[in-house]
Structure 1
Amino acid sequence: MDIIIDIAFIIFSYLFGSIPTGVIISKYFFNVDIQKVGSGNIGATNVARTLGKKVGILTLIGDALKGIIPIIIVRLYEPYPLNQTLIFFCSLSAFLGHLFPIYLKFKGGKGVATALGIFLMLFPFQTLLTAIVFF
């Protein structure tokens, strides 16, 4: 029974990671198809270049949440020593969902913001330190 629940978490993570944040924000709030302007990428960089930095930051946060939320859900469901493998597969699924979203015929973003969300959850101090050094 636990394996079925674990598989459900992994599928949920992929489907959640597949949510095209940049497309939703650009299309429904600005009536712009982000896939047809700029570089054609659905990620935060193209959104920021096309629609402005504030909208790009909103997209970045949305894409990062695609990596954060599945990990939070798994941590709430299963205790620490047992959940590491499930967290790995859910993180990978969310990341792959962003790269190859089922909702956009498997043509997604580059995965930088989603990976950032995953790294923030798994290695918060190291990720923040890296961001400080980078910027």
Structure 2
Amino acid sequence: MFLAIAATFCFVAYILGSIPTGYLAGKWLQDIDIREHGSGSTGATNVLRTLGKKAAIAVLLCDALKGMVGICLVQLLFVHPEWIAMPPAYRDWMIVGAAFCAVIGHSKSIFLGFRGGKSVAISIGVLLVMTPLIALGTVATFGFVIAVSQIVSLSSISGAIAVMVLMIIFQKPLPYILFGVFASAYVIIRHRSNIERIFAGTEPKIGKKLSQENP
């Protein structure tokens, strides 16, 4: 019974994560397929360069929100009297499973032929529900690096590394630490083309026009 319910909630988290907010913004605002512009990502960074600041902020918030909803649903399940008495490990593993599915859903959306964004915003969303302190530490790291470098991808990679480190420093449960390691590694891998451009000195900074960007 537990495995069946866990699988159901993971599936729901994946579907929520798969909602292609960046793609929908492109269609609604300019009737374009954002995957054919800039980096080809449906994430907030490519939305910023293609559709502008307001659209990017809306997509960023929606991407974070869909991750938060998936984890909140799992937490609400454990408020039910029949689930309260279950060992904490059950709750932790189910939350982590849903979190993984949400993150993967964002970058491998079932609605877009398993394409999508780079899972940064949705990762922040799930972290805000799982462990707010680490989410804030990650955002602070992102903010510091972007203030210094003006490079979104470098800031995202730095934030991903911060998640792994902070999970260990704050001695979170093993499922959370594993989520920190694997989700962060996944986000970094999704940025491999950005990493190549960073080393080549061609990664665009904030405000650089789309026509100047090397996708």
Higher relative contact order (CA 8 A, sep 6+): 1
Matched with 1:106 is 114
Q: Which protein shows a greater Rg?
A: 2
Cα deviation per residue 1:14-67 (whole Å; 9 max; x = unaligned)?
111111110011112331211111221110000011111111011111111121
TM-score (norm 1): 0.91
Cα distance change on mapping 1:10 and 1:130 into 2, 3 Å: closer
Count of residues paired in the alignment: 135
- Aligned-partner Cα distance in 1 for 2:98–2:38: 31
127, 140, 148: which one aligns with 1:132: 140
Q: 1:72 Cα deviation (Å)?
A: 0.5
Computed over aligned residues only, the root mean square deviation of the Cα atoms, in angstroms, reads 1.6
Q: 1:9 Cα deviation (Å)?
A: 0.5
Matched with 2:54 is 54
Matched with 1:32 is 32
The answer on 1:89 being equivalent to 2:111 is no
After TM superposition, list the pairs within 5 Å mapping 1:5-84 onto structure 2: 5-79=5-79, 81=88, 82-84=90-92
Q: Report runs of 4+ in structure 1 exceeding 2 Å deviation.
A: 79-82, 129-135
Cα distance change on mapping 1:134 and 1:110 into 2, 3 Å: closer
Cα deviation per residue 1:39-98 (whole Å; 9 max; x = unaligned)?
211100000111111110111111111211111011011147241110000000001111
One-letter amino acid of the counterpart of residue 93, structure 2: T
Gapped regions of structure 2 (runs ≥ 5): 144-215
Gapped regions of structure 1 (runs ≥ 5): none
